Amino acid sequence: MRINKYLAHAGVASRRKAEELIKAGDVTVNGDVMTDLAYQVKSGDTVEVKQTQIYKEEPVYYVLNKPRGVISSVSDEKDRKTVMDFFRHIPERIYPVGRLDWDTSGLILMTNDGEFANLMTHPRHEIEKVYIAKVEGQANKENLRPLTQGVKIDGRKTKPAIYQIIKQDISTKKSVVQLTIHEGRNHQVKKMFEAVGLPVQKLSRVQYGTLDLTGLQPGEFRRLSKKEVSQLVNAAKGI
């Protein structure tokens, strides 16, 4: 197996990130610094990344219902709670696929498969993601219509989204809106609502491709079936 693919399957990083580690001189094979990006790892080879031996793990895939106030990273320099705290008994070296903001709850994938993670997060792959947002202001067809045509955030126009008004509270001037997008840009949903004058107060991702949070309370997770993983991969590849 090619060295970057080996590292990806071991949960170290995506293939692209693995190549960066190799170029930086952080990868050794049998004690020698690896410089050949095309090297084929053989049975009996000792592979180390930053002096830590790497073992090829069986790929695992989980869906977590992330609570608010939890960081979507492997560690946090401020010692705040991360998604990893829910997986302390899992032996594999898993990590989150993409990110949800600290104050955003909902569905996030966890895996040790770098190739899968890269497939899920690459900008060219348009996996459907559904969010429920509580916003300030009265949501209506007029102010939400631009979302269906694309709005400019960070200098680039978003792809058309689909919305559904779930609830309107005239007395408090707040609304609940479901938004379906096919991108994954930084803080995208919050910025889209802000662009149409409806600042987000509370946000949750409730669906990712064919997956939803049925049966999962905040902080709970479950392992994905082979069929569910295949469905996600096929959606990313447009199959």
pLDDT 10s digits, 158-184: 999 999 999 999 889 999 999 999 988
User: Catalytic annotation on 101?
Assistant: yes
pTM over 0.75: yes
What are the angstrom distances between the C-alpha of 31 and each of 22, 111, 129, 223?
14, 28, 44, 36
The CATH number of domain 61-124+210-237, selected from 3.30.70.580, 3.40.710.10, 3.40.640.10, 3.40.50.300: 3.30.70.580
What are the domain boundaries of the chain?
A: 3-53, 61-124+210-237, 129-208
Q: Say whether pLDDT at 126 is over 80.
A: no
The span from the CA of 47 to the CA of 53, in Å, is 6
The span from the CA of 99 to the CA of 188, in Å, is 12
In a 13 Å sphere around the CA of 40, the CA atoms on its Cβ side amount to: 3
Instruction: Tell me which residue has tokens 């401020």.
Output: 78
The CATH number of domain 129-208, selected from 3.30.70.1560, 3.40.50.40, 3.40.190.10, 3.40.50.720: 3.30.70.1560
pLDDT 10s digits, 193-208: 999 999 999 999 999 9
Tokens standing for 50? 């930053």
Q: 3-53 with 61-124+210-237: one CATH topology?
A: no
Report the candidate in 190, 170, 168 with the shortest Cα–Cα distance to residue 179.
190
Q: Which residues pair with 129 in a beta bridge?
A: 181, 208
- DSSP string of 129-140? EEEEEEEES---
The span from the CA of 23 to the CA of 64, in Å, is 34
CA 226 to chain centre: 19
pLDDT for the residue numbered 54? 85
The span from the CA of 47 to the CA of 3, in Å, is 9
Mean of all residue pLDDT scores within the chain: 92
Name, of 23-27, 132-136, 180-184, the range with top average pLDDT.
132-136
Catalytic choice (101, 103, 113, 154): 101
Identify the architecture of domain 3-53 in CATH: Roll (3.10)
Using pLDDT thresholds of 50, 70 and 90, give the confidence band for residue 229: very high
